[in-house]
Amino acid sequence: MTKAFHPRPRKVRVLATLGPASNSAEMIAQLSAAGADAFRINMSHGDQASKAPVIQAIRALEQETGRPTTILADLQGPKLRVGKFAAGRVTLNTDSSFTLDRNATPGDETRVELPHPEIFAAIEPGARLLLDDGKLVLRVLEHDAERIVTNVEVGGPLSNNKGLNVPDVVVPMAALTDKDRSDLAFAVDQGVDWIALSFVQRPEDLAEARKLIGGKAALLAKIEKPAAIDRLEEIVENCDGVMVARGDLGVELPPQTVPPLQKRIVEVSRRQGKPVVVATQMLESMIESPSPTRAEVSDVATAIYDGADAIMLSAESAAGKWPIESVAMMNSIGVSVEGDPMHGDRIHFTVIRSDPTTADALSEAAKTIAATVSASAIVCFTTSGSTARRVARERPGVPILVLTPSQETARRLGLLWGAHAVHTRDVESFEEMVAKSKRMALRHGLARAGDRLILMAGVPFRTPGSTNVLHVVRVTGDELERYKGQAAEE
């Protein structure tokens, strides 16, 4: 029998990063209980051997609770770094000259190795080089195949292997490093549900990852490079989901430009029906403090009002002092914002134009009918998840109960707005579809006697992509008694 589990009291999803503060089985269970719908495993830190027991703990919890739980493996990507210094640390003075070169000799206050030949080929005079998350700013004066001479516009301390950002040019680097390919193969072998690709610049960057995944996981593109904004529509079209990665995006672009870009990325993703995650520094102060700042709460609320599918915790849940409280706060903000009478109007500021297909027409109609007849839920039968994604794109005012025979699909939908996914046996007939919709809605607390349900499915059944049925049913008191405590296999 499918275990019944309560739907979350909000439609926005919460994605929590696991790390030293939260990767034990006990902590993962507590984070889930506090409201985490999905877990991010950052492949940038630790080795693969340390990730396997974390994934196993999530799957064990899923088995115990019956709730499909989403695992996202976030690849490190081609992180650019400078080399080492003879003293381990130097100070660059503003208005001084500083050279990055191909010489592996440890550096000093005048030069350091830059072990990325592709930058030497792509860089141009006048371009900026940002060091240590943008704390230091260099301006290129001249360059050749062996060295880049710069003027230090903003100086400061610089130590070994600090990160380098090149915001003004597209660096022709492969989106996947050897480490990424190894981590991707490991993650897919472990059965993760999403692979996040870092530093995407072009839609072509997604091709190799898509091929290596081989359909065994969904592909999420992290938008954190200015070059990605120029081809945003194409990138969104070629992936399964998107992350607004505000960390590096806010380093390579002026911080005041990030909020409008966040809204644009969310809008484009919503129009294309792709789940969109807003991430980075959402409750940053909760790394050290048990409560967030009012500005941070407002930031999270803005993402929810914009209609983001998911909101993400990074160091707050991975390495902070208050991981459970951080997840609980995300949950509370979601409940509060969605309880605002104006929430429904605000998330529809983004105009969604349905494609000229039967499935899209029915999804739009389902939202309207649910509001008109005060339905308690929309029930979707789906194999691939496409029906659920179409319905979620409309942002209906009621929960979306997704019934799927595919465990993989149920897990992937953990990043989808409003989806309460249940892994359950498929139906064979129209009558069985109606009965099962009522039974599962009652069992999962999404309906009571007298409630109406909106049903969506494809006939013939078990035919992916064939959504062509919209049906309205009412749950009766007799059915409530009949299905109460029923132990039939689902």
Task: Kindly list the catalytic residues.
Answer: 40, 81, 222, 280
Give every CB contact of residue 211 below 8 A, 6+ residues apart in sequence.
none
Note the Cα 464 to chain centre separation in Å: 25
The answer, yes or no, to whether the previous bond of 460 is cis (omega within 30 of 0) is yes
From CA 300, how far away is CA 296, in angstroms rounded? 6
Amino acid present at 347: I
SS3 at position 289: coil
Neighbours of 363 (CB within 10 A): 28
**Residue type at 44 in one-letter notation:** S
Q: Any bridge partners for residue 401, and if so which?
A: 379, 420
Residues ≥6 apart with Cβ < 8 Å to 295: none
Which amino acid, one-letter code, is at 447? A
Per-residue three-class SS string for 159-170: ECCCEEECCCCC
**CA dihedral for 467, 472, 476, 480, sign (positive or negative):** positive
Beta carbons of 387 and 464 less than 8 angstroms apart: no
Helical (H) or strand (E) element with 149: strand 147-154
Round to whole Å and give the CA distance between 39 and 25.
Answer: 13
DSSP label at 395?
A: -
